[in-house]
């Protein structure tokens, strides 16, 4: 009987622990302390996206690159200091990660309304959601309550982010390491339905890979020579680069994925059937993307007394 009671107590404690973990973030976290937060973020993002639609993709990428490196803690926003080398100049981010000034503008507006209350990590999570919605994509209830990191790691950024030359097995394992399954990975890859990529990141695919439509490759080669022009841009979604829809998956089915890692999702492997489904069912893609974004946003957040609420997203307090 004693053994049974110990087991029941242990299970009860475990249940409380699991509940506590999932209860740390809440969509109503700032309801009392910063009630206008979501309107402030939305209006500032709307100004940025109206000025440059690509900014929605850039902010979404910032959020992804933040969450995959030691969790969603706004570490990607920190400038280098004498104490640490930050993530801004890690290989996946150097000369490509952008939109920092938009997050700074949102944070400034939030600080004016709610001093020292809302984390940069939560600002980034909300901005990523709003950018997607502003370009016609799904919306979702962003879970809030993250706090900001006091440090960053260039080495972790270099090792934790899958690159444009990644194969399917690498993509699946990279996402699995963050608690995201293959379906989440394929849905989140649909973020590439907006935004652009640099020639240096897709040159090898259009010149060397066999699984690419020849006319599409010829089109992309016009602006991406075999050498030079590494920074030249091309849309990740050939059809509707400024609308968040399922055009990305239609491109993959037609072998018109821009990056090697994109086309890997539809190349005779385990994700082919899901890509086909998304290519004809935008509602299914939108639903799965929104759910996967919530999961990604819950990767190792700093909560409670850990971390801090940065006043300036570029530096610790």
Annotated binding site for heme b: 192
Q: Decide: 237 and 248 in contact? Cβ < 8 Å.
A: yes
Grouping H, G, I as helix, E, B as strand and the rest as coil, residue 234 is strand
Give binding residues for Ca(2+) as ranges: 66, 69, 71, 73, 75, 87, 193, 237, 240, 245
Sort residue 149 into left (φ over 0), alpha (ψ -120 to 50) or beta. beta
Distance set, CA 177 to CA 65, 265, 294, 297 (Å): 14, 18, 16, 14
3-class SS of residue 257: coil
**Strands (E) located in the chain:** 196-198, 233-235
For the purposes of burial, counting CB atoms within 10 Å of the CB of 269, is it exposed (0-12), middle (13-18) or buried (19 or more)? middle
User: Which of 22, 65, 205, 260 is the catalytic position?
Assistant: 65
Q: Encoding tokens for residue 102?
A: 């938009």
- Binding-site entries: 66, 69, 71, 73, 75, 87, 162, 192-193, 237, 240, 245
Q: Which residues contact 272 (CB under 8 A, 6 or more apart)?
A: 265, 266
Q: Give the distance, in angstroms, between the CA of residue 218 and the centroid of all CA atoms in the same chain.
A: 30
Rounded CA separation 285/274 (Å): 9
Residue 22 designated active-site:
no
Cα separation, 52 vs 38, whole angstroms: 21
Q: In whole angstroms, how large is the CA radius of gyration of the chain?
A: 20
Burial class (CB in 10 A: 0-12, 13-18, 19+), 24: middle
Binding site residue list for substrate:
162
Query: Which residues are catalytically annotated?
Result: 65
């Amino acid at each position: 009987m004693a053994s049974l009671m110990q087991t029941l107590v242990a299970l009860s404690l475990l249940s409380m622990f699991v509940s506590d973990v999932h209860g740390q973030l809440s969509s109503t976290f700032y309801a009392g302390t910063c009630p206008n937060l979501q309107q402030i973020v939305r209006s500032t993002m709307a100004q940025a996206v109206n000025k440059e639609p690509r900014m929605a993709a850039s902010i979404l990428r910032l959020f992804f690159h933040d969450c995959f490196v030691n969790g969603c803690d706004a570490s990607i926003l920190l400038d280098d200091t004498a104490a640490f080398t930050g993530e801004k100049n890690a290989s996946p981010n150097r000369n490509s990660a952008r939109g920092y000034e938009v997050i700074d503008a949102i944070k400034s507006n939030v600080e004016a309304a709610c001093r020292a209350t809302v984390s940069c990590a939560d600002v980034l999570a909300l901005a990523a959601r709003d950018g997607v919605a502003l370009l016609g994509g799904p919306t979702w209830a962003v879970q809030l309550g993250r706090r900001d990191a006091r440090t960053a790691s260039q080495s972790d950024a270099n090792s934790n982010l899958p690159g444009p030359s990644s194969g399917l097995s690498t993509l699946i394992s990279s996402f699995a390491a963050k608690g995201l399954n293959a379906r989440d990975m394929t849905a989140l890859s649909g973020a590439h339905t907006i935004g652009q990529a640099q020639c240096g990141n897709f040159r090898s695919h259009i010149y060397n890979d066999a699984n690419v439509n020849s006319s599409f490759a010829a089109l992309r080669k016009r602006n991406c020579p075999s050498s030079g022009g590494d920074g030249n841009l091309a849309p990740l979604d050939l059809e509707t680069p400024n609308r968040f829809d399922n055009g990305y998956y239609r491109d993959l089915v037609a072998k018109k994925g821009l990056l090697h890692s994109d086309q890997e999702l539809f190349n005779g492997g385990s994700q082919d059937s899901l890509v086909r489904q998304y290519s004809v069912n935008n509602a299914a893609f939108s639903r799965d993307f929104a759910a996967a974004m919530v999961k990604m946003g819950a990767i190792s957040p700093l909560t409670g007394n850990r971390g801090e609420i940065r006043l300036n997203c570029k530096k610790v307090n």
